[in-house]
Amino acid sequence: MTRKSAVVAIGGNSLVKDKQHQTVRDQYIAAGETCWHIASMIRDGWDVAIAHGNGPQVGFILRRSELAAGELHEVPLDVCGADSQGAIGYALAQNLENDFEKLGIPRHAVAVVTQVEVAADDPAFATPTKPIGSFMDETTALRRRDEDGWSVVEDAGRGWRRVVASPLPLRIVEEEAVRALIESRFVVITVGGGGIPVVRDEGGNLVGVAAVIDKDLASSLLATAIGAELLMITTAVERVALDFGRPGERGVDRMTLSEAKRYLAEGVHFAEGSMAPKIRAVVGFLERGGTTAIITDPENVERALAGETGTTIVADSPAPEVCGLPLTASAAEPDGTRAPRSYARDKVSTGRHP
């Protein structure tokens, strides 16, 4: 069987179904549902690296740190990211190991605590916009600003929050180790939450910074770094929609890189903080030489790989078949879109990390 490589990115929100199901056990069960579909993909011959979000999980860690602040030291944001990588990596790896045994797959999963280098002079550090942590009153917010150097903003009358930068990922520090593990047939869980953001200090040493890297952009960079044929981004919807939230809203089965860039530029199709970053991540992957990307929900991974659902995005001049994936869309309009029917819709951003 020909070896094929893919990066599968799953959202941190997909591990938290709702407010009634957010315990560690609930998240483990949710992770298991996604892992089963990835295990089936691996059974069919794919070498897979898994990236994941961590927005809700980091929020939980920060809240615990806030509540314990009178007795224990607070946990820095970069360390919160490392903590979440370990916990989510453990849940994913254990679920995968159990699935491999059930399916008779002679593979193992391993989680790598992963740093991602960003530029110390990235413009995002001058205009932080990513809210983290709990709401504060004005007195507390201004004290943290003055004493701890936090950037804080007032949030529509609901209180004050800390905001941090979301710089672009430049380099995966553990890239060589990840590649070696994949070549040794391990399923690697990496760049959790976009990776732990680090910069070079004046002495050339890596140091952690308080920032949040977009998980989908980091997944795109990972796919390029390991030479993956496929970038699959799983999200809350079965396929991408054009004219989202407008009368002409319609699902898309297939689009090219040029079409994706045009739709992004038009600025009316994809919600910021929701689908737009995913499309940007796909565009980056294809512009750097990738051939195929798919966006769908976790339960439709196998069907999307078979070309039965999901949105497939390809380089502008693809071969008739790319990495074994059919490129024709069933029941589609001539331009690759579907008329509004029963497809799932993209959700408006909740304000949490994607």
Choosing from 53, 59, 95, 130, the catalytic residue is 130
Asked if 13 is an active-site residue, the reply is yes
Q: Which of 95, 193, 195, 215 is catalytic?
A: 215
Per annotation, catalytic residue among 13, 54, 95, 300: 13
332 CB neighbour count, 10 Å cutoff = 15
In this structure, which amino acid lies at residue 11?
A: G
H helix runs in the chain, sequence order: 24-43, 55-67, 77-103, 138-148, 175-183, 215-225, 257-266, 276-287, 301-305
Catalytic residue among 278, 290, 300, 336: 278
Among residues 11, 12, 55, 193, the one annotated as catalytic is 12
Q: Please report how the helices 276-287 and 215-225 are oriented relative to each other, as an axis angle in degrees rounded to 10.
A: 20
Cross-strand bridge partners of residue 154: 160
**Residue 313: phi, psi to the nearest 5?**
-120, 125
- Catalytic site includes residue 130: yes
Residue 137, token pair as written in the block: 């009153």
CA angle 286, 279, 178 (to 5 degrees): 60
Is 215 one of the annotated active-site residues of the chain?
A: yes
Q: How far apart are CA 325 and CA 302, in angstroms?
A: 11
Cite the active site residues.
Answer: 12-13, 130, 215, 278
